[in-house]
Amino acid sequence: MSYPVAHAGELELSYGYGPRDENLRWAISGDITGNAPNIMSELTWRNLKGHEHYVGLNYSAPSGWMGRADIRIADFRSGGEVQDSDYKLDNRQGEYSRSLSATHGSNARDVALLIGQRRYLDEAITWSITPVIGVSRNVTDLRMNDGMQAIPASGPYPDLNSSYRARFDSIMAGAETRWWFTQTLGLDMKWHHSWFNYSAEANWNLRTQFQHPVSFYHEGQGVDDRWVLGLLARVNSEWTMELSHSIRKGMFQNGLDVSNLANGARQNTLLRDVEWSSAATSLVVHRVY
């Protein structure tokens, strides 16, 4: 049988492109203990839609060891909305302010470096599993513009041009498996679990009580998971096409929110929780050298 197998010193270059959706939400309490009220302010970026470029470089050694670098760049131009709500009472009761805005200019950049060792699970060398470890950095640059005040209903405020840049610095571990069930068709599956440090900086351009360009910042630690499922189609010994779908979800609680006030003082409160998700579907071209 002539199944696709790794060659000695195989180098694979990949490029993918397709739609990506993004969501991120965070909430702060009224004080550092998580009270007064337990959710005072909540920001939600929902249904950010755009397209993602993916570039990957993978090297497989004759011993089975592999190393890979993945880069993803997404530009969310196709849609999305931000909701900013403030509450007087616990559990999102007594909402006294709500604004809605667009997300023009939002983008994301992801870089990951992984190593692992491939093990074949059958004599035909058609099914492999690769435990992996690695590091990654994910930066999501979220924007707020073209605002409208809904509660109270005071109308638009076109000068809104605020930003929130979140960064995830992670170590990860997981497993990847590839199964060629015919000579030309196969499945590619990946799962990565990450432990990360979270940091974010915001510039609320219309809020005179804050400093600029860093009005406040967030810190925390948490975990997330990423799943990838791909359908492989081998064109020849050098080229393979893949239709890939990935999902990433994560959250953390009990972080820190630090406001830089215009008078030079700092004010700390509880970053109650942060949660996010993303999904991407890509057509990927793999070239083996």
pLDDT digits (tens, 9 = 90+) for 16-75: 999 999 999 999 999 999 999 999 999 999 999 999 999 999 999 988 999 999 999 999
Q: Where are the domains of the chain?
A: 10-288
Residue 81 near residue 103, CB atoms below 8 Å? yes
Mean pLDDT of the 80-103 span: 97
Could you give the CA distance from residue 119 to residue 127 in angstroms, rounded to a whole number? 9
pLDDT of residue 4: 46
Cis, peptide link before residue 62, omega less than 30° from 0: no
What six digits make up the tokens of 253?
A: 């609680």
Average pLDDT, the chain: 95
CATH architecture assigned to 10-288: Beta Barrel (2.40)
What six digits make up the tokens of 83?
A: 């909701």
Residue with tokens 């030309």: 184
pLDDT of residue 2: 38
pLDDT of residue 130: 96
Residue 194 has pLDDT above 90, yes or no: yes
Could you give the CA distance from residue 168 to residue 197 in angstroms, rounded to a whole number? 6
Contacts 24+ apart (CB under 8 A), 122-129: 124/1, 124/3, 125/3, 125/5, 126/3, 126/179, 126/180, 126/181, 126/186, 127/177, 127/178, 127/179, 127/180, 128/177, 128/178, 128/179, 129/175, 129/176, 129/177
- Backbone φ and ψ for 5, nearest 5 degrees, come out as -135, 160
pLDDT, tens digit, 9 for 90 and up, residues 221-272:
999 999 999 999 999 999 999 999 999 999 999 999 999 999 999 999 999 9
pTM: 0.92
What six digits make up the tokens of 56?
A: 């990957």
In this prediction, what percent of the chain has a pLDDT beyond 90?
Answer: 91
